[in-house]
Structure formats: C-alpha cells, structure tokens
Amino acid sequence: MMKKKFLKVAQDGHFFDKHKKILVAVSGGKDSMALLDCLLATRDELQLEIGIAHVNHKQRKESDEEEAHLKSFAQQENIPIYTANYQDSVFSEKKARDFRYQFFEKKMREHAYTGLVTAHHADDQAETIFMRLLRGSRLRHLSGIQAIQNFGPGQLIRPLLSFKKSELEATFYFEDSSNKENTYLRNRIRNNYLPLLEKENPQFSHYLLELGQENAQLFQALQDLTKDINTTSVPIFRKQSPAVQVFLLQDYLATFPDLQVSKAQFKEILTILQTKSNYYHPLNHHYCLIKDYNQFEIFKILPETDENEREYVIESEGIFEFGGIIFSLNRDLPNANQVLWVDKHQPIRLRYRKAGDTILLNGIQKKLRRYFIDQKVPAKKRQEAIIIEQYKTILGVANQVTSDLSKSVKNDIMKTKLYIKTKE
C-alpha cells in the first residue's frame, strides 16, 4: 500500500524528473529502510539507478553489525554502497550531521549522483518546526524542511514529507535504542514535549505542519509581490517601508546560505543600509558588505588557501584576502587605505618581499630595503610587507607605498583600480 502511494507522490511531486542516478542516505532504521524499499520497488517506473550511503557513528555496539548487514543487503540487490566511520572523539548532533552531509556530497561528486535522497517524514517536519520555535528562529524558518533543495552537485530530495511515521513500512530494519534517550533536544521533543502537548490538543502536530505550510505560502507571496524591486539599489531600498526593508534584506541574505547572520548582525546590517554612506563591513565566513551611495552588495572574500602560502594570484575582478589584507579589483572598497592603478588584462601577483626587490619612486628605481630603512619601517612590518606586482614589476607595497607606475592615470582604458584595505 505504501509503495503505491509513494510512486504517486514521487510522480506528482516530480521529485526525480531531473535525476537518473540517486544516492540514498540509509542509517538502517525504519525510516530509511522504508524509503529504500520504496525506491527499489519503484525504480523501474521512476527509471532510477540507486546507490546507498551509510555512516557508522560508532556510538553503539550494534553499529558494526548494522553496517555489515547493509553491505550484505546491497550486495544481494546488486547496488553500490559507500560507507564511512565517524572519527571525532567528541560526539555532537551537529558535528555528526556535518560529517554525514560532507560524506554524502563527496560521494555524489565522485560517482556522478545528482540526487541525495533522505527519509525525513511528516513527524520529522513537525519536530523541526517545534524545535525552531523553541530556539527562537525567525518566522521565515518556521516553514520547516523543504522537499527539494539544491545540494552539492545536484539536489537534496525528501519524498516522504507527506507520510507520517506510522505509515512507513519496512521489510527489515534495526531499532536504535538511543532514540528513546532524552540526551538530545530532538529526542526530548519527540518523546516528551509533543506527546504532552497532544494531550491538550490531539491535532497539535498536524497544526504545526499547517503552520509551516501557511508560513511558506506567506513568504512566497511576499517574494512574488516584491520581485520587481531592485533590492540592492540603495535609493530604492530606502524608499520602502521599514517592514518591507526587513523582508527584502532577509530575502537577499537567504541567497547566501553559509553566511549565517545572527539577529544582532541583521540589525547592524539594516542600520548600515538605512543610515551609512560609503561603507565596508566584514561579515561571517569570509563575507563582506560593500555599500556606496547607489548600491550595496555582499561578496565572499576568497581566502588564501594556506596560512603559510607565500603568494596569491588575482586573475579576475572580485574581492580577495591575503596576509590579513583585503584586495578588491575593479570594485570600489569604501574607506580603502590605498588604491593602485593596474593593467586590467594581466594577472596581479601578491607575494612577500625578497632580496633585491626594487620600486620606482619619484623617477628613480629604489631598493625596497633602502626605502624601509629611510622611512624607519619597523622590522615586523617589513617582514609582513605584501608586494603587488605585474609583469614581474612591483606596483606597490600594500598599505605602505605606491610605485610611480600605479599612480593616477587619466583616460587609460587599459587600466583599472585595485583597492587595498587592512582586514578589520
């Protein structure tokens, strides 16, 4: 019965229309085994090639036995299985989840899977909404888990969100005794809080789901109504009412899922947009906000790949970080400490100084060592000096000195600006 409903839900929801090769996240519990059973039973109708991904968290003595059983099952079904062991000595739900999804993404890329399928169901949805409510999440996040979202090289698909746990059927599964323990918040919600609230109102979990659906519709309506507003235009943004400004900024920030702005940081960004003129503001995870009189944008700063890296090459416009300094090519960096004119068609090399370096100053090639001595530059500052060069010619030292070659050039269409600012 469940498999027939699953096929209809999958087809009506167009979950697998874009996918021919999917990776199924399988723990061995009832939910994921029910999902795997359904997918195996309908793979011909859905035209799917299936693989299994399993993470052994090493938290229970039965974990190795469950992994061995899944490998045997996969061999019998003639489907590939990929396994990993969680190695961190300190276990937390977040660390374990991050490890799982990093592993899933890695296997998707390695083996050309375009869909990752997980067994989240309606009960999980209600628990998630309630958990976010408890944690004080923003209203837009109370819509719960999305059925389809972008992930890694493809999509993350949750085809069971319309199924209650009581509807799930699995031919075989392992019972995880840790689900009955109340160490983690989700378990307390599942085992204690929701059952208690359902004594007051048996439909409480159902109403949580309706709240999530209605909330999702509300924010979709707001998006539809504001789709023609140029959010990043400062004059247009400031013309909106404060309530609309809040929504527009939330919607814009949602396009940077790894930014993770707190409520306090959100208020700070909103105040900058409402009151400041030219402004540069560093954010989390290598992002920054840049604003001038007409426009604002959030950019991801490309960090140096290794803290001991001795050079970095800028080959296209954007914002970059090297040696604790921000470099912005052809993008205005408000309150920049230094601006160099550079050839727009040639790579820019950033590096640390070396013996014999010279720079053109006041028409004379001068050794950097002598310049530092004459200017009484401290030894530490000399060691940390970052050289900017093109054509193996030094154009300047970041935040210290600019070569004659990089000073203001009028009407030269071959030149563009490199903005330099100390990282705050």
**Chain segment 113-148, per-residue pLDDT in tens:** 999 999 999 999 999 999 999 999 889 889 888 899
Cβ neighbour number for residue 257 with a 10 Å cutoff: 9
In the block, residue with structure tokens 């205005």: 332
Between these two residues, 423 and 282, which has the higher pLDDT value? 282
Query: Smallest Cα–Cα separation from 177: which of 35, 95, 63?
Result: 63
Q: How many CB atoms lie within 10 A of CB 181?
A: 11
User: pLDDT at position 9, please?
Assistant: 93
pLDDT interval class at 410 (50, 70, 90): low
Q: What is the pLDDT of residue 306?
A: 45
Share of the chain above pLDDT 70, in %: 96
Please determine, for residue 305, whether its predicted confidence score (pLDDT) is greater than 50.
no
Tell me the C-alpha to C-alpha distance, in Å, between residue 141 and each of 28, 185, 299, 370.
29, 18, 23, 59
What's the maximum distance between 2 C-alpha atoms anywhere in the chain? 86
Three-state SS letters, 22-78: EEEECCCCHHHHHHHHHHHHHHHHHCCEEEEEEEECCCCCCHHHHHHHHHHHHHHHC
Question: Which long-range contacts link 360-366 to residues 24+ away (Cβ below 8 Å)?
Answer: 360/394, 360/403, 360/404, 360/405, 361/401, 361/403, 361/404, 362/404, 363/404
Query: Would you state the pLDDT for residue 310?
Result: 74
List pLDDT tens digits, range 259-273. Answer: 888 999 999 999 999
Residue-level pLDDT at 307? 43
For the chain, what is the mean pLDDT? Answer: 90
Return the structure tokens found at 299: 């950019």
Tokens found for residue 82: 């990929």
pLDDT at 47 over 80: yes
Percent of the chain with pLDDT over 90: 62
pLDDT at position 409, please?
Answer: 64
Cα 237 to Cα 269: distance, rounded to the nearest angstrom:
13
Helix, strand and coil in the chain, % to nearest 5: 40, 25, 35
Separation of alpha carbons 51 and 82, rounded Å: 8
pTM of the model: 0.68
- Count of H helices and E strands in the chain? 13, 20
| CA–CA dist 177, 168 (Å, integer) | 19
Six-digit token pair at 382?
């000399």
pLDDT band at 53; cut points 50, 70, 90: very high
- Residue 303, pLDDT score: 57
User: Contact 162/122 with Cβ under 8 angstroms?
Assistant: yes
Q: What string of DSSP letters covers 260-292? A: ---HHHHHHHHHHHHH-SSEEEE-STTEEEEE-
CA torsion angle for 193, 172, 154, 302 (degrees, to 10)? 60
Q: Would you say 116 and 157 are in contact if contact means Cβ atoms under 8 Å apart? A: yes
Report CA dihedral (235, 240, 243, 249) to the nearest 10 degrees.
-40
Give 411's pLDDT tier (boundaries 50, 70, 90): low
Residue 413 pLDDT exceeds 90: no
Give the right CATH number for 2-211 from 3.40.50.300, 3.40.50.1000, 3.40.50.280, 3.40.50.620.
3.40.50.620
Q: What is the DSSP letter of 294?
A: S
175-196 pLDDT, tens digit per residue, is 876 777 788 888 899 999 999 9
On the question of pLDDT at 318 being above 70, the answer is yes
Could you read off the pLDDT of 361-394 as tens digits, one per residue? 999 999 998 999 899 988 788 888 999 999 889 9
Residue ranges per domain, the chain? 2-211, 229-300, 311-422
Which residues make beta-bridge pairs with 313?
349
327 contacts 339 by C-beta, under 8 angstroms: no
